[in-house]
């Protein structure tokens, strides 16, 4: 599989990693008091994260030229678009577990740390497989096409976070308490260190993001197998996921047709990956960038036009229309679940 190849010194990897770590630290310090994130604050942070992601593309333009920069932007855009799908499930998980608004940022922060680590592993493993075995392009491509099809047809499937294998495993291995203890993930109860319901919600977020990471990374690998570009596109897109959640959570009902656009992007990425190992070869990056941009724009415009006039002003970060009812019962002792059921607009985690 032919792809972009340029030398990336180890110090550049280190510098980018330090920038990411510094921004995460600044975000953690700014939200250390567990306050409720309002729309204006989330919008400012979202603008900052997007500006950083776009600015990095300009750095690549000056350093390696337009082809490398365009390839990064294509990967960044498709990852940013797919991250909106994550927001749907995050809102579902928070609604299901009744996570107070003040603690949601903390859960998402540590969830993002896990997401970055998982993506880094998947990137190197996936890129190496594509380099060593050409037929893995067909497998990855078929997986992306299947995922896109599943996303398009599974709009009304129910998702139960408490049935996630990892969540159930944690409950069996670690003593859990079905209550929140402030913003703590663990609390000492009857002299025993016990996981709180907030920790169970974190595990649910991490578990669903592991599934998201597989098709997200595969979609960017369909654009390029250059590990540096795939990593930076994923990292800078995922960094703004927390702020994006607080910006969009109250407006999720307006994006009712976005999943069709995301499905198209996944199928397109799968076809592109398969074609790369045929006589057709790799599709041009300008074409790829154009398809991604137009698909996202059309699906968002379709959603907004179809839902114009709907009132979302009363929706809060943890509120999704049609998810957990307001009168959802408290969880039974020792389970940390049973706090309501949600219906996902679409699902990649089942």
For 92-133, the pLDDT digits (tens) are 788 888 888 888 888 988 888 888 888 888 888 888 888 888
Is residue 213's pLDDT more than 90?
no
pLDDT in tens, 1-36: 546 677 889 999 999 989 988 888 887 787 777 777
| Rounded (5°) CA angle 121-184-338 | 85
- The reported pLDDT for the residue numbered 328 is 35
- Residue with the larger pLDDT of the pair 236 and 209: 236
Phi and psi (nearest 5°) for 236? -70, -25
Query: Does 86 score more than 50 pLDDT?
Result: yes
Distance of alpha carbon 276 from alpha carbon 123, whole angstroms: 18
Q: pLDDT tier at 238 (50, 70, 90 boundaries)?
A: confident
pLDDT band at 350 (very low <50, low <70, confident <90, very high): very low
pLDDT at 135: 83
Residue-wise pLDDT for 44-58, tens only, equals: 888 999 999 999 999
Burial class (CB in 10 A: 0-12, 13-18, 19+), 114: middle
Per the prediction, the chain carries an average pLDDT of: 79
Residue 59 pLDDT greater than 90, yes or no: yes
* pLDDT reported for residue 342: 37
Mean pLDDT across 140-163: 76
Residues 243 and 45: beta-carbon distance below 8 Å: yes
Q: What is the pLDDT of residue 320?
A: 45
Residue-level pLDDT at 3 = 64
Most confident of 251-255, 274-278, 323-327: 274-278
Q: Assign 3-class secondary structure to 315-326.
A: CCCCCCCCCCCC
Residue 174 confidence class, pLDDT cut points 50, 70, 90: confident
Q: Smallest Cα–Cα separation from 74: which of 238, 259, 229? A: 229
For 133-144, b/e burial (b = at least 16 CB within 10 A) is eeebbeebbebb
Max CA pair span of the chain: 67
pLDDT in the model for residue 156: 56
* Residue 57 confidence (pLDDT): 94
What pLDDT score was predicted for residue 151? 80
d(CA 65, CA 42): 33
Residue 228 pLDDT level (bands cut at 50, 70, 90): very high
Residue 96's pLDDT is 83
Give the mean model confidence (pLDDT) for residues 234-259: 79
For residue 29, what pLDDT is reported?
80
Q: Please report, to the nearest 10 degrees, the dihedral formed by the alpha carbons of residues 159, 249, 337, 213 taken in order.
A: 60
DSSP 348: S
**308-312 — which CB contacts under 8 Å span 24+ positions?**
310/253, 310/254, 312/250, 312/251, 312/253, 312/254
Q: Which range in 126-135, 226-235, 321-330 is most confidently predicted, on average pLDDT?
A: 226-235
In 133-196, where does DSSP find H-type helix?
A: 136-153, 165-173
Q: Where in the chain are the domains? A: 10-163+200-308+315-320+331-343
């Amino acid at each position: 599989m032919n792809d972009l190849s340029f030398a990336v010194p180890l110090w550049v990897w280190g510098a980018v990693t330090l920038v990411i770590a510094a921004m995460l630290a600044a975000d953690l310090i700014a939200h250390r008091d567990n306050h409720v994130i309002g729309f204006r604050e989330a919008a400012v942070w979202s603008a900052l994260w997007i500006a950083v992601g776009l600015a990095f593309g300009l750095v690549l333009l000056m350093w390696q030229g337009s082809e490398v920069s365009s390839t990064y932007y294509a990967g960044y855009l498709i990852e940013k678009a797919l991250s909106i799908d994550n927001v749907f499930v995050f809102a579902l998980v928070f609604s299901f577990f009744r996570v107070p608004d003040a603690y949601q940022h903390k859960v998402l922060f540590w969830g993002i740390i896990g997401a970055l680590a998982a993506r880094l592993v998947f990137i190197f493993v996936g890129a190496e497989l594509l380099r060593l075995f050409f037929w893995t392009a067909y497998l990855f491509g078929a997986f992306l096409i299947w995922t896109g099809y599943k996303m398009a047809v599974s709009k009304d499937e129910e998702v139960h976070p408490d049935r996630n294998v990892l969540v159930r495993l944690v409950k069996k291995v670690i003593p859990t308490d079905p209550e929140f203890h402030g913003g703590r993930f663990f609390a000492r109860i009857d002299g025993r260190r016990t996981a709180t319901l907030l920790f169970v919600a974190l595990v649910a977020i991490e578990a669903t993001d592991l599934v998201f990471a597989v098709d997200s990374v595969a979609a960017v690998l369909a654009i390029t197998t250059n590990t540096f570009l795939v990593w930076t596109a994923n990292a800078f897109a995922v960094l703004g996921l927390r702020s994006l959640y607080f910006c969009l959570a109250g407006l999720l009902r307006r994006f009712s047709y976005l999943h069709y656009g995301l499905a198209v992007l996944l199928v397109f990425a799968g076809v592109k990956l398969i074609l790369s190992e045929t006589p057709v070869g790799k599709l041009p990056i300008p074409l790829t960038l154009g398809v991604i941009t137009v698909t996202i724009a059309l699906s968002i415009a379709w959603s907004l036009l179809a839902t114009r006039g709907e009132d979302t002003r009363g929706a809060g970060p943890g509120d999704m229309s049609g998810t957990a009812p307001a009168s959802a019962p408290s969880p039974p002792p020792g389970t940390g679940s049973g706090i309501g059921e949600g219906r996902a607009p679409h699902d990649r985690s089942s």
